[in-house]
Structure 1
C-alpha cells in the first residue's frame, strides 16, 4: 500500500465523518421519532453513493478516496447496531423490525441502483 492511498483513505474518512456528523445533527434537530432517521439516512445515502462509485469503475486512488474513505466515514454500521440494541432494550419491536429490515433491504437495493446508475445515464 502506498503512502498516497493511505492519505487518500484518511482524507476521505475525515470528509465522510464530518458529513455524517453534519447530516446527523441536521436530521436530529428536525425529528423526534424513536426511529433512528439520521443513521438510516446516512447509511442509505452511502449505500447509493458507494454503488455509484463502484459502477463508474474509477481508478484505485479514486475508489480509495471516495469508496473506502468518504463512504466509509459517512456510513456507520456500528451506530446502526448500537441503535438497534437500544430499540431492543426499549422493547420497541416494531421500530426495531422496520429499522433492521429497511436498513438491509433498502441499503442493498440502493447499492444496486447506484451501481447501475452510471450505465443508465450513459444510455440517455
Structure 2
C-alpha cells in the first residue's frame, strides 16, 4: 500500500483545504469537461439509437471511458507521479464528462418506455458489467504494458 493520498489534489485533513476554493483544479476540470462532453456529443451524433433499440453509442462511450479511467489511474498512482492537475483534467474532466452514466439511466427509461423491456434490462445489466470489466481490464493492461506491479489493497 502506498503512503500517497487517494486524492492528491485535496487533503481534507487540512482544515484550510476544506473551505478554500481550488481555482486551478476547477479550471482543469472545466477545460477537460468541455473536451469530454464534445467527444461524447460527437460519438452520440454519429451513432444515434432508434427508439426501443439498444443505445450502442452510450454503451461504448461508457465502456471505453471506463477502460481509459482504469489505465489512467494506474499510470498516475503506480507508474509515475503526475502533475497535480493531470487527474482532475483527464480523470474528472475529460473522461468524467465523456462517460455518461446519467444518459445511461435516461436511455434505460427511454428503451423500456418504447416497449422494449428486455432490451432495456439487457442494456441496464450489460453496461454495468461491461463498465466494471473495462476498468479492471484497463488497470490490468496498463500494468502489463508499463511493468507496474499489481498493488495489493
**Match of 1:14?**
34
Unpaired runs of 5+ residues, structure 2, are: 1-20, 77-81, 148-153
* RMSD over aligned Cα atoms: 1.6
C-alpha distance in structure 2 between counterparts of 1:115 and 1:17, whole Å: 24
Tell which has more relative contact order, 1 or 2 (C-alpha 8 A, sep 6+).
Answer: 1
Compare 71-80 and 90-99 and name the one that shifted more.
90-99
Q: Is the 8 A contact 1:51 1:111 kept in 2?
A: yes
Q: CA deviation at 1:2?
A: 2.3
Of 108, 111, 114, the match for 2:135: 111
Q: Is the 8 A contact 1:47 1:111 kept in 2?
A: yes
Q: CA deviation at 1:59?
A: 4.1
Q: Is the 8 A contact 1:8 1:69 kept in 2?
A: yes
C-alpha distance in structure 2 between counterparts of 1:61 and 1:105, whole Å: 30
C-alpha distance in structure 1 between counterparts of 2:140 and 2:83, whole Å: 18
Larger gyration radius, structure 1 or structure 2: 2
Of 50, 54, 61, the match for 2:73: 54
- Tell me the matched-pair count: 121
**TM-score normalised over the length of structure 2:** 0.73
C-alpha distance in structure 2 between counterparts of 1:2 and 1:46, whole Å: 25
**TM-score normalised over the length of structure 1:** 0.89
